[in-house]
A and B are shown apart, each in its own frame.
Chain A
Amino acid sequence: MTDAIYPQVRIVTERLMNPETVERVMNLIIGTGGVRRVILNGPRLPPTVPYGPAKGLPNPTEYRKKIKIGDQDVQLEVHVGNIVLELENRDFIPAIREACEKGITKFSWYLQEGRFMKTAPSLVDYAKYGPDADRDIIGLTEPGKSGLVILQGTK
């Protein structure tokens, strides 16, 4: 969850992005220095076939890759279509826009300002994770999955 005092932006692309594009644009975005939190959002790419007669078989796809953001390895578990950012303040938005212009060149995209991250745990969060769940994680990632990644050295 997040404090509602920080501005948030969402970058939506016309196409679902390849890991290489995500890596390129994310490094440019992180380089602006004003990003507090990031959610990479999109349809899930499971490591094994989740259901059907082939359930449990490995599911190799070229989009489920490890990418490098800053100095940190990030395992992509989704085919990224939206990038949600929480910023230090609104002054960074032009720099983020510029980063996207450099990073996403093959297709169109747009940047929206608004509120895209959870500010309070939902009933489902309570049912899933109980009353003592880590409130910093809720809404950013699924607890119990691979968890979040803390990018070092951006401050």
Chain B
Amino acid sequence: MAYKPQFGPGTSTVAENRRRVMDPTKKLEKVRDISDEDIVLIMGHRAPGAAYPTMHPPLTEQQEPDCPIRKLVTPLEGAKHGDRIRYIQFADSMYNGPCQPYLRSYIASYRYRGVDPGTLSGRQIVECRERDLEKLAKELVATEIFDPARTGIRGATVHGHSLRLSEDGMMFDMLQRCILDKKAGVVKYVKNQIGEPLDKEVKVGKPMDEKWLKQHSTIFHSLVGVPFRSDQEYIEYVQRVHALRTKYGFMPTE
């Protein structure tokens, strides 16, 4: 019988959302438009329109060793051209953020080729060849796993995941890279992800309302969202994993 991944346990909306966004057969719901130029500006790795700097000659111009694996694996566009490896990093609020760091790494691993995702306590980084990264980043920002107020694109000084929100509902950002334009109700980036001021403001759309955030949240929260203890199946699963891991060295049977 062919293996069918289950992606995760749970009966709550949070568990359902986690399974949906991890499953590569399901398309992520698009909720906003962002241009290629805007993504390049926010990431700040190169000037928009500039050529991609390279770190090795294109694969067609260099001698490849006779390797069966290289014949099997089709290189990414970026790898073909010898692009640099660059990154995008996200911080997600635990106040009903539509995504969260561990899930982001699962999403990147299930959905994209040639990426190196890494989760730290309150942030998640994806590394990839530059031109492929831009495509990937655009999808991550334009779809349901991003919210302008509860998700931040932050290369350095990422603190904010577990902090209270500010009065206008934005996640704390020491560098205040994005601000809420109160008249238009739109969030705009005024600094790139490492905190350098941008020449042009980049609009990333309106913050989603509380109802939408609660429906699309992928993080349990006992005060503002779905409490973890309300999902019995999830608790049983986590307790089982914990018990098996604890017992394993002693007696690797249930």
Using CB atoms and an 8 Å cutoff, list the residues of chain A in contact with chain B. Answer: 13-18, 21, 43-46, 49-54, 57, 59-63, 79, 81, 106-107
Write out the residue numbers on chain A whose beta carbons fall within 8 Å of the beta carbon of B194. Answer: 52-54
User: Do A49 and B195 have beta carbons less than 8 Å apart?
Assistant: yes
Give 1 or 0 for each of B178-221: 1 = CB within 8 Å of chain A CB: 01000000000000001111000000000000000000000000
Looking at chain A's contact residues, the main secondary structure is loop
Most B CB within 10 A of own CB, among A15, A46, A51, A81? A15
B159, B176, B179, B196: the one contacting A54 at CB < 8 Å is: B196
Q: Which residue of A lies closest to B191 (CB)?
A: A54
Q: How many angstroms from the CA of A54 to the CA of B195 in the assembled complex?
A: 6
> Closest Cβ of chain A: how far from B182's Cβ, in Å?
11
A/B interface sample: 11 pairs, CB < 8 A: A14-B164, A16-B163, A16-B165, A16-B167, A43-B174, A45-B174, A49-B157, A50-B157, A52-B195, A54-B196, A79-B172
Smallest CB separation, B167 vs chain A (Å): 5
Q: Which of A44, A50, A52, A107 contacts B167 (CB 8 A)?
A: A107
* Alpha-carbon distance between A53 and B155 when the two chains are bound, in angstroms: 9
Is there contact, CB below 8 Å, between A16 and B166? yes
Q: Within the complex, what minimum Cβ distance (angstroms) separates B76 from chain A?
A: 25
Q: Is the CB of B156 within 8 A of A54?
A: yes
Is B175 part of the binding interface, using a Cβ–Cβ cutoff of 8 Å? yes
Shortest beta-carbon distance from A17 to chain B in Å = 7
Residues of A contacting B159 in the complex (Cβ-Cβ under 8 angstroms)? 43
| In the complex, chain A residues whose CB is within 8 Å of the CB of B175 | 49, 59, 61
